Amino acid sequence: MNAARKVAIVTGASQGIGKAVALRLAADGFAVVVNYASNAAEADNVARDISSAGGMALAIQADVSKQADVTRLFEETARQLGGVDVVVNNAGIMELKPIADAADELFDRTIAINVRGTFNMMRAGMKVIRGGGRIINVSSSVLGLALPTYGVYIASKAAVEALTRAAANELRGRNISVNAVAPGPIGTALFLKGKTQEDIQNFAKRAPLERLGTPADIAGVISFLVGEEGGWINGQVIRANGGLV
């Protein structure tokens, strides 16, 4: 381990936005922990790709909704890489139902992963992240659209944004910033699931840039926020959505 190399944990990094963020931060010089809940093969592939490109990466399993798993994740990171400088809270689910039809199980599962998972990672990270570090939470620009069937998901991401602002204030004096990135429609499996081609095209045309975002678009924003030039941004929600809202 190079003592000068900063360490980033990226949750939900086996695919989609999380994978793109892990690859980008590794290219930026971070040692990256590729966190995953269940997809070990994909997470190992991401870590292997980083290592093959000359970077440093570990794939570590942890269900962020479980405090014990999160504690183990941070302990294992510190043991193998020496500490933590950046936490990117990307792990999340998006299950869509009208509020009137949403079962308790859907609500509980969404809150457990999207809110409690982010809370667990922030709580652990705020205790150990080194000075000059960053916490980045992933929200969603759908908060500004308030689309039907997205109600429970929107509620979970609204909580994430509230936690972001509160944590930024609580970390006063430690030179650690906390921000959120709120993507618009991104062409990932999470977004595309259950949508027709017409649905996808309609979403793509909503923004003035007239396309879906890519995981790399979001990785670029996060790269900026955790880099030296993003150090003066704190307690903010960056809506990376091509002008959608």
DSSP string, 88-114: EE---------GGG--HHHHHHHIIII
pLDDT band at 185 (very low <50, low <70, confident <90, very high): very high
Class of domain 7-238: alpha beta
Task: Give percent of the chain above pLDDT 90.
Answer: 94
Which secondary-structure segment (H or E) carries 178? strand 177-181
Contacts (Cβ under 8 Å, ≥6 apart) of 215: 16, 17, 19, 20, 21, 186, 187, 188
Quick one: pLDDT at residue 194? 82
| CB neighbour burial string for 58-69, b if at least 16 within 10 angstroms, e if fewer | bbbbbbbbbeeb
Lowest-pLDDT range, 26-40, 161-175, 179-193?
179-193
Inter-residue contact 72 to 120 (CB < 8 Å):
no
Tokens encoding 216: 């790399």
C-alpha 110, offset from chain centre: 15
Other residues' Cβ atoms within 10 Å of the Cβ of residue 101: 8
Q: What percent of the chain has pLDDT over 70?
A: 98
Q: pLDDT digits over 65-87, tens only?
A: 999 999 999 999 999 999 999 99
**Segment (H or E) for 167:** helix 151-170
Cα(183)–Cα(149) distance, integer angstroms: 18
List, as one string, the DSSP characters of 110-152. HIIIIIIHHHHHHHHHHHHPPTT-EEEEE--GGGGT--TT-HH
Catalytic positions, written as ranges: 153
Q: Report the C-alpha gap between 22 and 39 in whole angstroms.
A: 15
- pTM for this structure? 0.96
Strand partners, 31: 7, 56
